[in-house]
Amino acid sequence: MSETYDYSDLKDLPKIAEQILSLQSKSAFFIFNGPMGAGKTTLIKELCKQLGAEDLVSSPTYNIVNEYRTMEGKRICHFDFYRIEDKSELYDLGYEEYFYSDSICFVEWPEKVGNLLPSEHIAVNLSVERNRRSVSFEVINNK
């Protein structure tokens, strides 16, 4: 089951983010597929805002992972695997400590780490064509 939203305006983003967050009961692990410039970081900023993260949400490309806290103190881990060249680097990162903790995970460039992703997760797909952007999302269960 996948839902698709088209939007041309950033004003529509909060509504889409709300829909995505409603899937939290299914899984707190969200992956974001889409090319550079598709709006992955922008969407994650909105999700963090709605979760009440007071920290500044910025791109983790350099740091690989940024951590924020929701108002209730829950940890949000924001990953960007753009710079990852080999899956073994994820082991070096201690990724299990992040993936399988009681944290909300947002992952950009998930294709870089392939099958290390948890079998259950929410896939958010972003695409952009001319000025039309669309977001679709679905619950993935590979168990």
Partner 1 sequence: MANKSVVILGIESSCDDTSASVIRDGVVLSNVIANQDVHTKYGGVVPELASRAHQQNIVPVVYQALAQAKVKKTDIDAIAFTRGPGLMGSLLVGTSFAKAYAMALNIPLIEVNHMHAHIMALFAKETNEDFTHPSFPFICLTVSGGHTQLVKVSDHLTLEVLGQTIDDAAGEAFDKSAKILGLDYPGGPLIDKHAQNGDPLRFKFTHPKAPDYNYSFSGFKTGILYFIRDEMEKNDQFINENLNDICASIQHTIIGILFKKLNKVVADTNIKEVGLVGGVAANSGLRDALKQQEKIGWKTHIPKFPYCTDNAAMIAITAYYKYLNNEFTNQAISAKARYAI
List of residues contacting partner 1 (CB under 8 A):
36-37, 41-42, 45, 55-56, 58-59, 61-68, 83-85, 88-89, 91-94
CB of 48 to partner 1, least distance (A): 12
CB of 64 to partner 1, least distance (A): 6
CB of 30 to partner 1, least distance (A): 18
- Output phi, psi for 14, to 5 deg: -55, -40
Closest CB to partner 1 among residues 99, 140: 99
Closest CB to partner 1 among residues 39, 140: 39
Closest CB to partner 1 among residues 60, 110: 60
- CA–CA dist 24, 11 (Å, integer): 22
Structure letter (DSSP) for residue 29:
E
Q: Using CB atoms within 10 Å of the CB of residue 54, give its burial: 0 to 12 exposed, 13 to 18 middle, 19+ buried.
A: exposed
Tokens of residue 96, six digits: 């299990």
Residue type, 94: G
Closest CB to partner 1 among residues 1, 102: 102
CB of 91 to partner 1, least distance (A): 8
- CA–CA dist 82, 112 (Å, integer): 7
